[in-house]
Amino acid sequence: MGSKLENEMLEQLYRSYYDSLMIIACSYTHNEESAKDLVQTVFLKASVSYEPRGSFLFWCNKVMRNEFYTLLRRNKMRADEDLDSLDLRSQDDVLSSYIHNEERARLAAMISMLPLKYREVMIYSVYLQMDDDEIAEMRGLTRANLRQIRSRARKMLIEMKEAEDDRYR
C-alpha cells in the first residue's frame, strides 16, 4: 500500500491528465464509457510502469495504444467503425465535456473519425505535440511517409469540416 503522499500525488496526476487522456481514448474508442474504462486501466498501468524520464502523458498514450490493440485482439472493440454509423455531432458532444473550446472539440471529434493510422499520427502531432522525427521513429516510417500520412489526414479533416458545414447551413 502506498503512503498518503504517494496516493495524493497519483490523484493529482490523474486529475491533471484525465481530460487529455479522455480525448485520446475517445479518439480510439468512439464511445465515452469505453474511453472511461480505457483511461482507468491505462492510468493504473502507466503509473506503475512509468519511469520519470519523459512526458507522463506520452507514456500514458503509449500504454493506451498497447491496451487498445489488446482489446482489439480480444474483439472487444473495433478500430475502424463504419464512419456512416458515427455522428460527428454526438462525438462532439462526448468530447465537449473534456475540451472547453467548441472548435477544438470539433477538431477532436473529426480526428476520432479518421481511419486508425491517420488518427494515430494526428494524436501524436496534435495532442502530444511530437515532432516528425519522433513520430516517424515510433511508427517505423520515413519522414516523407509520415508527412504524406499527415497531409492525407488533414485533407480528410478539411473534407469532413466542409461536409459538416454544408449539412448544417
pLDDT, position 85 = 42
- What local confidence, expressed as pLDDT, does residue 13 receive? 80
Greatest C-alpha distance within the chain: 57
Kindly state the average pLDDT of the residues 7-31: 82
Q: What nine digits make up the cell of 23?
A: 480525448
pLDDT digits (tens, 9 = 90+) for 114-150: 888 898 898 888 877 888 998 898 889 999 999 999 9
Q: Which residue in 139, 136, 84 sits closest to 113, CA to CA?
A: 84
Could you tell me what percentage of the chain is helix, strand and coil, using 3-state DSSP and rounding each to the nearest 5?
Answer: 75, 0, 25
Q: State mean pLDDT over 156-167.
A: 81
pLDDT at 92 (0 to 100): 47
The pTM assigned to this predicted structure is: 0.59
Backbone angles phi, psi at 68, to 5 degrees: -60, -45
C-alpha triplet 42, 43, 49: angle, nearest 5°:
85
**Kind and range of the H or E element at 107?**
helix 102-112
Instruction: Pull the grid cell for residue 30.
Output: 468512439
